[in-house]
Amino acid sequence: MEIGPVDVLVVAFPGNQFNGAILPALSDLVSAGTVRLLDLLFVYKDADGAVGALELDDIAAQFGPVPLAEDSTGGLLDAEDVEEVGVGLEPNSSVALLCWENSWAAPFVAALEGSGARLLDQARIPREAVLAALTPASHN
């Protein structure tokens, strides 16, 4: 089975104001074959400091369909993730955890493996660092 690199993104939302507006853009990525959504979890901390979570079914019930990969049942993100992320949340704040496969890369990864290559390392450069490096003023 070809599979591309899998990422977990943690995205903050101000003041527990997740409204599902990211779901259409996520659906577009899935429809284009850029990513396969493997799991999605919304974690929040209320004003009293209690941590809670919305899982796939809860998110779909409140905000509409979630474009989960056909061969995934979720479950990659779990109560341990809720606990880990919840500890760092300020009261009245929230995050979405998205677990997706970079499906665009799967054929390349298969070609690497087929040629006997081994992946030694993988890194992600934060968007802000790339923008700063590409800004002409930063080269002075």
Residue 1 lies in a domain: no
Higher pLDDT, 69 or 93: 93
- Residue-wise pLDDT tens digits, 59-84: 889 888 888 888 887 889 999 999 99
Q: Are 40 and 97 in contact (CB under 8 A)?
A: yes
Residue 77 lies in a domain: yes
The backbone torsions φ and ψ at residue 28, rounded to the nearest 5 degrees and listed phi first, read: -65, -40
- Residue-wise pLDDT tens digits, 13-49: 877 777 888 889 999 999 999 999 999 999 999 999 9
**Which domain covers residue 61, as residue numbers?**
6-139
With a pLDDT cut of 70, the percent of the chain lying above it is 97
Per-residue tokens: 63: 């905000």
pLDDT value at position 137? 67
**Best CA proximity match to 119, nearest among 36, 5, 38:** 5
**Domains held by the chain: number:** 1
**Best CA proximity match to 10, nearest among 85, 87, 78:** 85
